[in-house]
Amino acid sequence: MNLTDSNLYEELRTFLKEHQVSKNETQIEQHSHDESYHKVSPPDLVVFPENTDEVNAVVNVANAYQTPIIPYGLGTSLEGHVIPYDHGITIDFSQMNKVLVVREKDFLVKVQPGVTRSQLNKELKKYGLFFSVDPGADATLGGMAATNASGTTSVKYGVMRDQVRDLEVVLANGELIHTGSLAQKSSSGYNLNSLFVGSEGTLGCITELTLKVYGIPEHVVAARASFPSVNDAVEAVVSILQAGVPIARVELVDEPSMKQVNMFSETHYKEQPTLFLEFHGNEAGLNYDVEFTKEIVADHQCEEILFEQDNAVRNRLWEARHNLAYAYVHGNPGKKLMVTDVCVPISELAGAIEHAREKVNELGLNGGITGHVGDGNYHILLMMDMDDPNEVKKAEQLNEQIVDYALQRGGTCTGEHGVGVGKMKYQQREHGEALRVMKKIKSALDEKEILNPHKLVHQKKTDL
Ligand SMILES: Cc1cc2nc3c(=O)[nH]c(=O)nc-3n(C[C@H](O)[C@H](O)[C@H](O)COP(=O)(O)OP(=O)(O)OC[C@H]3O[C@@H](n4cnc5c(N)ncnc54)[C@H](O)[C@@H]3O)c2cc1C
């Protein structure tokens, strides 16, 4: 069906208001890319549903017209996830942005998919609760579930998959299902929560999420520790984890990245490999953890460790860390961000980061290394001149080399950003025969292949 013919638009307008179906050039452009360097491609239409029934009706129309549907949260993903390579209808969830129920006693919250993590935390604060997953961008919870996002606190609280109790999902054929329950544990049936979390909009549209939340800790202490080398910093993290210190956050920022932090956030932190740390707990336990950590980092040549209890100073510290990718973007106008994202077993982390730095230097690239090192997850941030084919080729080579290194050591090609189009080429190598099972699941749930085509498991186009 040719979408320039107005049938589809008219059909959508029978149940969506004028402002809910857009062909506006600016909105089409906004939905033709994510935050990555991947090739852009526009949708034909963008729709803004306000409830599950409307999502359902859009899916039914798309089904009848065999038109692609691309679920869209805020478009902050980094591997081309939301780019409509076959055009079609982008479903923007920004108008489904209500916190529906807070079940304080159950530590659960039910939200619509367009609620962002900071919006949720603002609401939860009134109840003395917080939601733990905090990717660098202020993403939507629907997008975060669909990518199995994680962030600085995952070392203690787990990733998005660990927080999802139940999802309401509109399937490609228009059926509405729930993937879980409110119960804390269950041995009933296949684990559909886990299947839909990380499915990147290829298996269904998430229209509601029930998520686990936590009590705001009684005491929080943050710290900044500087080391002479990245290797010393990483070895210190491994020792902290091996000693069983219940660390809530531990982030590595290398020397070039500390320079970017200081320039962008107007801070005056030491420009050396640095660990940003945080401890949550009661005062007595926390004092013990802090003292123990001081001893451990001293054994790894830590040159300075500064602790912060003041709320405002702590927030500033984490804001500076969260803004790191934006600091690189801001400091390199005209260039595009490529962030690598591998995850290795913690015992392999120091070697992996050392290997990554060697490769960056060998290729003559300019990149900073940072990571959620408590999870064995690290990133290289590269600012690329997309008009320089040599630089692009080198960046791709680097990506290949660090993925290879991770896979050879039992790691994964993506710790948190997901597959999108960028990591599809590694799926066979990482999953082997299991990829065939994934493709069968995709075909069973999306027979006509209308849901976010050419992503995660399917690659029909050769030039992506
Ligand atoms: C500066 C920066 C820092 C980042 N840091 C991190 C980080 O620390 N950790 C991390 O994990 N990620 C990080 N990311 C990546 C990104 O923020 C996450 O992948 C995030 O989860 C995407 O959420 P979104 O709302 O923007 O979703 P989008 O980008 O809009 O969509 C992402 C995927 O989810 C699907 N989707 C969206 N909504 C739905 C829905 N309702 N139903 C079904 N599918 C849906 C889309 O089709 C797409 O495949 C970072 C990105 C940036 C730009």
Is the minimum distance from the CB of 28 to ligand 1 under 6 angstroms? no
Q: At which residue do the structure tokens 């085509």 appear?
A: 453
Across the range 126-137, mean pLDDT stands at 96
What tokens appear for 35 in the block? 């935050």
**Which has more confidence, 383 or 122?**
122
Q: Closest Cα to residue 164, out of 228, 225, 111, 209?
A: 209
Is the minimum distance from the CB of 371 to ligand 1 under 6 angstroms? no
Give 321-361 pLDDT, tens digit per residue: 889 999 998 888 888 889 999 999 999 999 999 999 999 99
Give 79-97 pLDDT, tens digit per residue: 999 999 999 999 999 999 9
Give the number of the atom of ligand 1 that is nearest the alpha carbon of residue 81: 49
Give the number of the atom of ligand 1 that is nearest the alpha carbon of residue 452: 47
Q: Yes or no: say if 255 and 303 are a contact pair by the CB < 8 Å rule.
A: no
% of the chain surpassing 70 pLDDT: 97
Is the minimum distance from the CB of 113 to ligand 1 under 6 angstroms? yes
CB atoms within 10 A of CB 429: 12
Residue 337: per-residue pLDDT: 87
Task: Compute the distance between CA of residue 92 and CA of residue 80 in angstroms, rounded to an integer.
Answer: 16
Residue 56: per-residue pLDDT: 98
pLDDT band at 458 (very low <50, low <70, confident <90, very high): confident
Q: Whose CA is nearest to atom 7 of ligand 1?
A: 135
Give 190-237 pLDDT, tens digit per residue: 999 999 999 999 999 999 999 999 999 999 999 999 999 999 999 999
Please list, residue by residue across 400-423, b when 16 or more beta carbons sit within 10 angstroms of its beta carbon and e when fewer do. Answer: ebbbebbbebebbbbbbbbbbbbb
Task: Compute the distance between CA of residue 243 and CA of residue 296 in angstroms, rounded to an integer.
Answer: 9
Give 262-299 pLDDT, tens digit per residue: 999 999 999 999 999 999 999 999 999 999 999 999 99
Across the range 109-126, mean pLDDT stands at 98
Q: Whose CA is nearest to atom 4 of ligand 1?
A: 136
Give 403-433 pLDDT, tens digit per residue: 999 999 999 999 999 999 999 999 999 999 9
Give the number of the atom of ligand 1 that is nearest the alpha carbon of residue 76: 26
Q: Whose CA is nearest to atom 8 of ligand 1?
A: 135
Residue 462: pLDDT above 60?
A: no
Residue 1: per-residue pLDDT: 46
Q: Whose CA is nearest to atom 13 of ligand 1?
A: 135
Q: Are strands 219-226 and 274-281 parallel, antiparallel or unpaired?
A: antiparallel
pLDDT band at 309 (very low <50, low <70, confident <90, very high): confident
Give the number of the atom of ligand 1 that is nearest the alpha carbon of residue 140: 25
Give 28-60 pLDDT, tens digit per residue: 999 999 999 999 999 999 999 999 999 999 999
How is the beta sheet containing 21-22 ordered, strand by strand?
21-22, 45-47, 89-92, 69-72
Is the minimum distance from the CB of 202 to ligand 1 under 6 angstroms? no
Give the number of the atom of ligand 1 that is nearest the alpha carbon of residue 337: 53
Is the minimum distance from the CB of 119 to ligand 1 under 6 angstroms? no
What tokens appear for 440 in the block? 């069968």
Mean residue pLDDT of the chain comes to 94
Going from the Cα of 69 to the center of ligand 1, the distance in angstroms, rounded, reads 17
Mutating to test ligand 1, I would choose from 37, 76, 264 the residue with most ligand atoms within 8 A of its C-beta, which is 76
Residue 188: pLDDT above 90?
A: yes
Task: Compute the distance between CA of residue 96 and CA of residue 50 in angstroms, rounded to an integer.
Answer: 5
Task: Compute the distance between CA of residue 86 and CA of residue 231 in angstroms, rounded to an integer.
Answer: 45
Residue 463: per-residue pLDDT: 53
Q: Which alpha helices (DSSP H) does 47-147 contain, by range?
A: 52-65, 117-125, 141-147
Mutating to test ligand 1, I would choose from 32, 34, 72 the residue with most ligand atoms within 8 A of its C-beta, which is 72
Q: Yes or no: say if 435 and 427 are a contact pair by the CB < 8 Å rule.
A: yes
Residue 443: pLDDT above 90?
A: yes
Backbone angles phi, psi at 233, to 5 degrees: -65, -45
Residue 442: pLDDT above 70?
A: yes
Going from the Cα of 117 to the center of ligand 1, the distance in angstroms, rounded, reads 11
Residue 125: per-residue pLDDT: 97
Residue 464: pLDDT above 90?
A: no
Q: Whose CA is nearest to atom 19 of ligand 1?
A: 77
Asked which of 10-19, 157-166, 359-368 is least confident by mean pLDDT, the reply is: 359-368
Is the minimum distance from the CB of 318 to ligand 1 under 6 angstroms? no
Distances from the Cα of 75 to the Cαs of 87, 89, 163, 338, 402, in angstroms? Answer: 16, 15, 22, 15, 26
Backbone angles phi, psi at 37, to 5 degrees: -90, 0
Residue 370: pLDDT above 80?
A: yes
Going from the Cα of 63 to the center of ligand 1, the distance in angstroms, rounded, reads 25
Task: Compute the distance between CA of residue 276 and CA of residue 297 in angstroms, rounded to an integer.
Answer: 12
Going from the Cα of 386 to the center of ligand 1, the distance in angstroms, rounded, reads 23
Q: Identity (one letter) of the amino acid at 331?
A: G
The distance of Cα 165 from the centroid of its chain, to the nearest Å, equals 19
% of the chain surpassing 90 pLDDT: 89
Going from the Cα of 81 to the center of ligand 1, the distance in angstroms, rounded, reads 8
Task: Compute the distance between CA of residue 76 and CA of residue 79 in angstroms, rounded to an integer.
Answer: 9
Query: How many alpha carbons fall within 13 Å on the CB side of residue 44?
Result: 18
Is the minimum distance from the CB of 411 to ligand 1 under 6 angstroms? no
Residue 2: pLDDT above 70?
A: no
Q: Whose CA is nearest to atom 44 of ligand 1?
A: 201
Residue 460: per-residue pLDDT: 61
Residue 308: pLDDT above 90?
A: no
